[in-house]
Amino acid sequence: MAEWWRSAVLYQIYVRSFADSDGDGVGDLEGVRSRLPYLRDLGVDGIWLTPFYPSPGADHGYDVANYVDVDPQFGTLADFDALVADAHELELRVVVDIVPNHTSNEHPWFQAAISAPDHPDRARYIFRSGRDGGPPNDWTSAFGGSAWTLDEGSGDWYLHLFAPEQPDLDWHNAAVRGDFDEILRFWLDRGVDGFRIDVGQALYKAPDLHDVHEPEPRTPYADWHTGINQPELHELYRSWRSLADAYPDERMFVGEIVLGDQVELATYVRPDELQLAFNFTFLFQDWSATGLRGTIERTLAAFAAVGATPTWVLENHDVTRLPTRYGGGEQGLRRARAAALLLLALPGTAFLYEGQELGLEEVDLPDAVRQDPIFYRTKGERVGRDGCRVPIPWESGPPGFGFTTGRPWLPIPAEWKELSVAAQTRDPASTLELYRSALALRPRDEPFAWRETAPGTLAFTRGDLLCLVNISDRELPFEGELLLASDPAAGDVLPPDAAAWVRIAGRSER
Ligand code: GLC
């Protein structure tokens, strides 16, 4: 299909937590390969693999020590090649994560950079002298504390927007750019269908590194940070786009661009820049009809204005699981199931996160097993992201649930026995079967139009499919042939906190 990425559903695999083939309790590429038929049967179009590159693991792989290899705990390059070959055989695209904002502090470039103040590799990073005995400016790390760490050998400080083990690269340095062109080519040559660009709004820093006076509390978006989101990025992404366009089969970029202003966000997906950018406003929107409608309208308008494809995402490895964010328990799950039908009826590209299709809740882990640097750097003030990264349950029960024959790297809750893939498969009331049906029925190219509807509800059509979402506390009557509902009790009324797909009478057969 031309421009496959315009209406695809991509399934995010957090490699550590998906499937473990060798019993060490950590997921790996061979595990992913063994579960590809599940993803084909689920009905997604491709996978996005989170980083599997050699890494000391300070941020579970987002601290890369070698961009062109596989960490032994995840497998080998041969395993990667076999995974890509099998995925393509099953008509699944493979997108890999590229981490260009920072390296690991154990990357040979950084090791060289701190080995001697005049080492040429030092210019690949951002070292500055301090101010008044402290760091060079007021920037903070997204993981808590200052964004600067003292390099004791030289007395200078280096910048890290994340953990100190993740020193930021200086993208104004031509060598850094050249290296990443080679890294992209390495994976394109191995057949990847695209890249997810980590922290895509931050690679270039304002050259004067001015103070930014961070708002309190810190928002999930980076719009306020005048030291990042620099104009040079657009030129970089144009060059990456033309590099990838030289390959056959439509290789794709999706940027993790964490901006709340959709018009600004859309500047990254102009025709010669990235094909896609995550739209986090939908994810961070509460369960409110006016809020969701507003976000959807702003997104559609901003992306249409540049001819780009909108994207929709509700979960990933950095945020609390959806049923928990929507209130938890039975209510949270009802809403999350309804949101699934909303997500998959919207025009554009959708992203699912492993376990979302099982309706998993955030896990309240004991502090002793937590691993996220956010937890440690904020001294527990922020619990961090481990609760959405617990390995997913495939079958049977504790401790491994078919994820591993050993001990999972984070404990899997005993209650997940009822939520395993095996337990939900062929149960028509299960969340897994809801996703499977929705993925099979989902509209792809049909035009989108809003419909008049009662307050507290959303209604829009995609061709002859009407999507209804009831966020009010009253039943919503409807007419037409019910194709799919998030609540099995839906008949000719839709209960609160539920969604339905209805075929509108008098139109052509789907
Ligand atoms: C992105 C990733 C997140 C990681 C951070 C630093 O936001 O999604 O998991 O910690 O970048 O690389």
- Per-residue pLDDT reduced to its tens digit, 159-193: 999 999 999 999 999 999 999 999 999 999 999 99
- The 8-class DSSP code of residue 168 comes to B
Percent of the chain at pLDDT above 90?
Answer: 98
* Whole-number pLDDT of residue 185: 98
Atom number in ligand 1 closest to CA 161 = 6
Note the pLDDT of residue 510: 43
- Judged against a pLDDT cut of 60, whether residue 507 lies above it is answered with no
Answer left, alpha or beta for residue 484, where phi above 0 means left and psi between -120 and 50 means alpha.
Answer: beta
Could you tell me if the CB of 318 is within 6 A of ligand 1? yes
Q: What pLDDT is recorded for position 218?
A: 84
In whole angstroms, give the CA distance from residue 138 to residue 149. Answer: 12
Distance 62 CA to ligand 1 centre (A): 6
> For residue 102, how far is its CA from the centre of ligand 1 (angstroms)?
10
Residues 6+ apart with CB under 8 A from 480: 466, 502, 503, 504, 505
Asked if pLDDT for residue 1 goes beyond 70, the answer is no
Extract the tokens encoding 439: 């993925």
Rounded to the nearest whole angstrom, what is the distance from the C-alpha of residue 41 to the centroid of ligand 1?
29
Ligand 1 mutation target, pool 17, 49, 59, most atoms within 8 A of CB:
59
Task: Provide the pLDDT for residue 138.
Answer: 98
**For residue 483, which of 465, 496, 470, 471 has the smallest C-alpha distance?**
465
- Report how far ligand 1's centroid is from the alpha carbon of 444 (Å): 30
pTM of the prediction? 0.98
Question: What is the identity of the amino acid at 213?
Answer: H
Q: What are 11's strand-pairing partners?
A: 47, 352
Secondary structure (DSSP) of 13-67: E-GGGT--SSSSSS--HHHHHHTHHHHHHHT-SEEEEPP-SS---TTTTSS-S-T
- Measured from the CB, is residue 97 less than 6 Å from ligand 1? no
E strand or H helix at 313: strand 311-313
Ligand 1 atom closest to 373 (CA) = 10
- Token match 């799919």: residue? 484
The ligand 1 atom nearest the CA atom of 385? 9
- Residues of the chain above pLDDT 70, percent: 99
Determine which residue's CA is closest to atom 7 belonging to ligand 1. Answer: 199
Is the four-CA dihedral 132, 136, 138, 143 of positive or negative sign?
negative
| Least confident span in 122-131, 215-224, 471-480 | 215-224
Counting ligand 1 atoms within 8 A of each CB, the residue from 98, 199, 319 with the most, and so the one to mutate, is 199
Instruction: From 196, 318, 371, 374, give the residue whose CB has the most ligand 1 atoms within 8 Å, as the site to mutate.
Output: 318
Strands (DSSP E) found in 65-199: 93-98, 127-128, 148-151, 156-159, 194-197
The pLDDT of residue 509 is 45
Ligand 1, residues 64, 141, 198, 351: which to mutate, most atoms within 8 A of Cβ? Answer: 198
Q: Assess whether pLDDT exceeds 70 at residue 360.
A: yes
Active site residue 69: no
Ligand 1 pocket residue status of 59, Cβ below 6 Å: yes
Residues 271-282 have pLDDT tens digits of 999 999 999 999
Q: Could you write out the three-class secondary structure of 136-150?
A: CCCCECCCCCECEEE
Ligand 1 nearest-atom number relative to CA 99: 12
Q: What is the pLDDT of residues 363-400, one digit of tens each?
A: 999 999 999 999 999 999 999 999 999 999 999 999 99
Q: How far apart are CA 206 and CA 234, in angstroms?
A: 14
Whether the CB of 121 sits within 6 Å of ligand 1: no
Tokens representing 123 are 């210019």
Task: Name the packing angle between helices 431-441 and 329-343 (round to 10°).
Answer: 10
Catalytic residue among 156, 256, 318, 464: 256
Q: What are phi and psi of 393, to 5 degrees?
A: -85, 125
Cβ contacts of 368-371, under 8 Å, gap ≥ 24: 369/410, 369/411, 371/60, 371/409, 371/410
Q: Whose CA is nearest to atom 9 of ligand 1?
A: 318
**pLDDT 10s digits, 304-355:** 999 999 999 999 999 999 999 999 999 999 999 999 999 999 999 999 999 9
Residue 198 bears catalytic tag: yes
Ligand 1 within 6 A of 62 CB?
A: yes
Those residues with Cβ within 8 angstroms of residue 159's Cβ, 6 or more apart along the chain or in another chain: 125, 126, 128, 139, 147, 148, 167, 168, 205, 209
